[in-house]
Amino acid sequence: MTLQHTNTEPKWLHLGACRGLDSRVFYPEDEAGSVQAKSICLSCSVQPACLEHALEIREKAGVWGGASERDRRRIIRQRRKVS
């Protein structure tokens, strides 16, 4: 099967475990609400690519690649310390 994608969408986007799910799951009201989204991301084959994408574009909202906004800020801070 050939997947269609646009130039603005990453190729892996159509392979995510989140595909077809209610996007509200991935944009919870608070950190506690991110548990369900993170559990879906755990089983996702494109989780690493999704997380790197969110870090690269500095995504501000939602759960991406198994990381909430707070998690991503923490990852960015840790990477700055290492470099």
pLDDT digits (tens, 9 = 90+) for 52-78: 999 999 999 999 999 999 999 999 999
Query: Which residues have a Cβ under 8 Å from the Cβ of 41 and sit 6 or more positions away?
Result: 17, 18, 47, 50, 63, 65, 66
pLDDT digits (tens, 9 = 90+) for 16-43: 999 999 999 999 999 899 999 999 999 9
Compare 19 and 2 and report the one with higher pLDDT. 19
pTM assigned to the model:
0.84
**pLDDT at residue 43, as a whole number:** 94
